[in-house]
Amino acid sequence: MTTEEITTERIEIAVADGTSMGGCLARPAGPGEYPGVVVAMELFGVDDHVRGICEDLARRGFTALAPDFYHRSQPGADLPHDESGRTRGFELLPQLTRGDVLADVTAALAALDGRGVRVTGMLGLSAGGHLTYLAATALDIPNAVVCYGGWLTGNPDLQVTGPEPTLALTPKISGRLLYLVGAEDHVIGPDEQREIAAALAAAGPRHAFHAYPGAGHSFLRSDTPAAADAYARIESWLRGE
């Protein structure tokens, strides 16, 4: 289904560690059962792009929730998509631990469940792609989509990528995982792409890897055939198709 009538709101979510996490919630306006998707933000926080992703998912018939993973250090962070925002993002992202991320995703899943929403999956973008991959290895995520998630083979500057590389945890994924990336991605080079594809292939046929020729990093921000195809794949995967 598609609809232009959606509702959006900012909600507060209680996390098990006693903190409170903001989130952007979008869903179709009419009555009905709309499966829930947790959307994991890019480096720049819950910005216009992430809110737009949530709204697009709502128009496709989902209930989308983007939690603020930076809520412990800079609540409501909405960084500009430029060098200053990137610099600040790389000050905030290293503060995230695996425990923080899993607590936050658990809280987001519970927030959807508490609203009577059946959770169908999780979508992660860039840095949030890494968080989604990690969550899929530890939590019940039926259908995970990772868009150009970086540092899966490790990054000593980011707590969330270790101690063992997140990619090494691939056999622990309980649901299905789709990984989408641009073949010319400057963050995830050819060797790392091959490692990711091989790990998913070894983990079984429920997972899939797709690279878009000519596309670079964060291609969902562009109006390109790759982006259009990716949105279609994302919707289908999140529906369990």
Question: Who's near 228: CB < 8 A, 6+ residues apart?
Answer: none
Q: Does residue 1 sit within a domain?
A: no
The pLDDT of residue 85: 97
**Total structural domains within the chain:** 1
In DSSP terms, which residues pair with 65 in a beta bridge? Answer: 25, 38
**Domain around 136:** 6-238
DSSP annotation of 140 reads -
Is residue 76 assigned to a domain? yes
101, 134 Cβ separation under 8 angstroms: yes
Measured CA to CA in angstroms, residue 238 lies from 37, 85, 144 at distances of: 8, 30, 7
Looking at per-residue pLDDT, the higher value among 1 and 92 belongs to 92
Asked if the structure places residue 47 within a domain, the reply is: yes
CATH code where residue 63 lies: 3.40.50.1820
pLDDT in tens, 119-145: 999 999 999 999 999 999 999 999 999
Instruction: Kindly tell me the burial class for residue 177, based on how many C-beta atoms sit within 10 Å of its own C-beta (0-12, 13-18, 19 or more).
Output: buried
Beta-bridge partner residues of 212: 182
Question: How far apart are alpha carbons 70 and 23 in whole angstroms?
Answer: 11
Give which of 121, 136, 149 is closest to 239, Cα–Cα.
121
pLDDT in tens, 147-187: 999 999 999 999 999 999 999 999 999 999 999 999 999 99
In a domain, 156, yes or no: yes
Q: What totals of helices (H) and strands (E) does the chain contain, helices first?
A: 6, 8
Q: What is the pLDDT of residues 182-227, one digit of tens each?
A: 999 999 999 999 999 999 999 988 999 999 999 999 999 999 999 9
Respond yes or no on whether the N-terminal peptide bond of residue 75 is cis (omega within 30° of 0): no
The answer to whether residues 145 and 122 touch, using CB atoms and an 8 Å cutoff, is yes
Count of Cβ atoms closer than 10 Å to residue 238 Cβ: 26
Residue 2, pLDDT > 90, answer: no
Q: Is 91 among the domain residues?
A: yes
**pLDDT classification of 30: cutoffs 50, 70, 90:** confident
